[in-house]
Amino acid sequence: MNTGNPKQYSWSTDGETYQDRCASIEEAISEALNSGREFELGQTLFIGEVVPVNAAQLVDADSVIDDISVRAFDISGEHAEDYLVHATKEQRAQLESLIAAWADSVEAPSFWEVGTVVEHVITREDLGDGNV
């Protein structure tokens, strides 16, 4: 995804749902204004920094191990009570890496988090109404 590349920005009218990935704040404002939505003078447009998500962020080895352990207990009862409890930190990291690699091979995340947000107030100039 965006490894060491310049920052990207996304826009929102409500500060919650962000659209597009743009190369600059100005481009994000332009994309918003050209999105077909109606904007009013003084309306706030939220411009957020795109923070890429990678599959490794979505994997938690402890959750996977817990799920496997519960299923083992459901199948074999107390005989499986301690199944996988001795997995080391390194083994847990390996599990997370394997699952993240699998997830990326199926579908790398195309979504993102929003970092720093700046607010842009819609002006007459933005609306193309230079006449006062």
Read off the pLDDT of residues 41-83 as tens digits, 9 standing for 90 and up: 999 999 999 999 999 999 999 999 999 999 999 999 999 989 9
Nearest to 45 by CA among 65, 72, 17: 17
Query: Could you tell me the residue ranges of all domains in the chain?
Result: 1-53+111-132, 54-110
Residue 105 phi, psi (nearest 5): -70, -25
Q: Which range among 31-35, 95-99, 125-129 shows the weakest confidence by mean pLDDT?
A: 125-129
Nearest to 58 by CA among 3, 113, 120: 113
- Please tell me which residue, 4 or 8, carries the higher pLDDT value: 8
Q: How many CA atoms lie within 13 A of 23 on its CB side?
A: 1
- What are the angstrom distances between the C-alpha of 85 and each of 73, 79, 88, 89? 12, 13, 9, 11
- What are the angstrom distances between the C-alpha of 111 and each of 47, 69, 125? 16, 31, 32
What pTM was computed for the model? 0.73
